[in-house]
């Protein structure tokens, strides 16, 4: 069975909601999930069924596309954009170049506009001066994606970026990104800015403030996503610490995601599950990664998955290859198959192997091979359970 067959086999028609499921969904907190039907005009750019194995990539040259075809990749998270071409025309041009080589573009990964980043924007997250202008930039970004036929954007809602403390060498001899909360080098960064403890923005913010800002933001943005047909997949905070440098991080737990998506109340707003981030949090996330997949995946709220493993949960972890961390990543693929996930799965933060810094990436080949193998195995196991 080839990879395409495995991806197709992973999908069954979703059953209708029975009486028991309806009762459970309309219990405590369930009304908000039913509200996720959105407006009558809400639409989603169509994507074919099945789990899609893809990767971050840039430069749709024939050489690069040949390498990706040899790996069995057909879906792309495109990194070919910058503030100058992040518009409907630029998005469409790059999408067409990839499609001419036999690929499909699931999302563009630059997530910038003429004014800079459109995710992890402090003005939006912290209600700083210029908030409405930044929100309008996000709305325009979504319109451009929709016009170009790109179905997804991975969205971050961090007020002071991602945080790390450097790099560390793993026992097998490769290096991975390191995060040690106690390190003097621990700091955050995004869009060219650096953030440090104790206060990244001069004061402590309350969790209620950040939730109010999320509500203000998503209720202005979700209607545009519904009109444009674009899925907004919210990414977990990285690392998922409840507070860093005085700023609460509300997408750092299962309950945070459940609350955030209920507030959005839109079929176009769901989760981009970064497995690495979930494993970074460990027990503090409230539910493990398999339980999280079953909960959000069964509700059509899981849009994209970043495959990554780590050495241990916080307070100190190092990013690893998929089979070299503390979690059995086959359980993740099995859960995705079980819930009939039909979005994109990509390797995330792939460590470089062999000391190579240019040309075809051995680390990517290693990771795509792992994804294809676990997908086939999970589909085969599901088929065996049926017979």
Percent of the chain with pLDDT over 70: 88
In a domain, 5, yes or no: no
- Provide the β-strand partners of residue 302: 271
Mind listing the pLDDT tens digit for each residue in 52-72? 999 999 999 999 999 999 999
Mind listing the pLDDT tens digit for each residue in 233-252? 999 999 999 999 999 999 99
In a domain, 38, yes or no: yes
In a domain, 348, yes or no: yes
Residue 226 in this model has a pLDDT that exceeds 80: yes
| CATH for 72 | 3.20.20.150
In a domain, 3, yes or no: no
Helical residues (DSSP H) of the chain, grouped into ranges: 3-9, 19-25, 30-34, 62-71, 88-100, 122-125, 131-148, 207-228, 254-264, 275-281, 289-297, 330-338, 362-386
Confidence of residue 116 (pLDDT cuts 50, 70, 90): confident
The average pLDDT across 31-53 equals 74
Which H or E run includes 236? none
Q: Which domain holds residue 281?
A: 34-386
Mind listing the pLDDT tens digit for each residue in 319-361? 999 999 999 999 999 999 999 999 999 999 999 898 655 567 8
Confidence of residue 84 (pLDDT cuts 50, 70, 90): confident
Q: Specify the number of domains making up the chain.
A: 1
In a domain, 356, yes or no: yes
- DSSP per residue, 150-179: --EEEE---SS-EEE-EEEE-TTS-EEEEE
């Amino acid at each position: 069975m080839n990879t395409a067959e495995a991806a197709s086999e992973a999908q069954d028609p979703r059953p209708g909601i029975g009486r028991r499921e309806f009762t459970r969904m309309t219990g405590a907190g369930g009304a908000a999930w039913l509200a996720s039907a959105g407006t009558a005009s809400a639409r989603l750019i169509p994507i074919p069924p099945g789990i899609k194995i893809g990767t971050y990539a840039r430069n749709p040259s024939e050489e690069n596309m040949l390498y990706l075809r040899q790996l069995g990749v057909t879906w792309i998270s495109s990194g070919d954009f910058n503030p100058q071409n992040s518009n409907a025309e630029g998005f469409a041009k790059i999408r067409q170049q990839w499609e001419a080589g036999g690929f499909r573009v699931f999302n563009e990964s630059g997530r910038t506009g003429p004014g800079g980043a459109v995710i992890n924007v402090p003005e939006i997250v912290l209600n700083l001066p210029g908030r409405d202008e930044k929100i309008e930039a996000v709305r325009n970004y979504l319109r451009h994606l929709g016009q170009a036929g790109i179905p997804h954007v991975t969205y971050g809602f961090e007020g002071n970026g991602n945080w790390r403390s450097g790099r560390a060498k793993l026992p097998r001899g490769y290096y991975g990104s390191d995060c040690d909360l106690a390190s003097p080098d621990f700091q955050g960064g995004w869009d060219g800015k650096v953030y440090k403890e104790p206060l990244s923005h001069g004061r402590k913010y309350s969790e209620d403030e950040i939730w109010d800002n999320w509500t203000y933001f998503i209720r202005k943005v979700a209607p545009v996503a519904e009109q444009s047909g674009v899925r907004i997949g919210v990414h977990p905070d990285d690392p998922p610490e409840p507070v860093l440098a005085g700023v609460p991080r509300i997408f750092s737990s299962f309950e945070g995601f459940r609350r955030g998506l209920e507030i959005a109340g839109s079929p176009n707003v769901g989760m981009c599950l970064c497995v690495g981030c979930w494993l970074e949090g460990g027990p503090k996330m409230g539910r493990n990664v398999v339980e999280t997949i079953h909960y959000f995946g069964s509700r059509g709220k899981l849009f994209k998955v970043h495959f990554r493993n780590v050495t241990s949960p916080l307070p100190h972890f190092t990013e690893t290859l998929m089979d070299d961390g503390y979690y059995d990543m086959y359980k993740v693929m099995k859960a995705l198959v079980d819930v009939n996930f039909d979005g994109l799965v990509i390797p995330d933060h792939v460590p470089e192997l062999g000391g190579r810094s240019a040309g075809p990436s051995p680390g990517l080949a290693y990771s795509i091979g792992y994804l294809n193998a676990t997908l086939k195995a999970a589909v085969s196991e599901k088929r065996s359970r049926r017979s």
